[in-house]
Amino acid sequence: MLFCPKCGSIMMPKQEKGKNVLSCSCGYKKENNEEIKIKEVNEREKEREIEVADEEQSLEPLIDAECPKCRHGKAHNWIVQTRAADEPPTRFFKCEKCKHTWREYK
Ligand SMILES: [Zn+2]
Ligand SMILES: [Zn+2]
C-alpha cells in the first residue's frame, strides 16, 4: 500500500490508458511501476518455456524413413496438429543426414 506524498491519503491503483497508475483523491498520480515489473518477468518466463519446447523438438525419435533428397534411410519424425482439431495431424520428417524436412502425404 502506498500513501500520497502530497496529502498523505491512501492511493488507489487503477488502469489508465493501458497503464497501471496509483491515483489519489487529491489528484496526484503515479505510475505503478511495481506491477509493470511483474509483467516483464512473466513475459521472460514465457520466452523460456518456448526455448525449452524448441530443445525438446531436437530429441524427436529416429525412425526408418527414406529421405527424398539424399536417400538416407533414417529420419527424425514428429506430429503436428494443423489448423482445426478435427483435421488429422500431419507427420513431419527430418533427414538425419542432410536435415532435409518433408511432410508425410497420405
Ligand atoms: Zn493526495
Ligand atoms: Zn537427406
Whose cell is 496509483? That residue is 22
- Residue 88 DSSP label: P
Instruction: Summarize pLDDT for 36-84 with one digit per residue, the tens.
Output: 566 667 777 777 665 555 555 556 889 999 999 999 999 999 988 877 7
3-class secondary structure, 54:
helix
Query: Considering every ligand atom, which ligand is closest to the CA of 24?
Result: 1
pLDDT at position 36, please? 53
- For the cut 70, the answer to whether the pLDDT of residue 87 exceeds it is yes
pLDDT at position 90, please? 87
Distance 57 CA to ligand 2 centre (A): 18
Query: Considering every ligand atom, which ligand is closest to the CA of 98?
Result: 2
CATH fold for domain 62-103? N-terminal domain of TfIIb (2.20.25)
Active site residues: 86-87
pLDDT at position 8, please? 94
Percent above pLDDT 90 for the chain: 40
Distance 11 CA to ligand 1 centre (A): 7
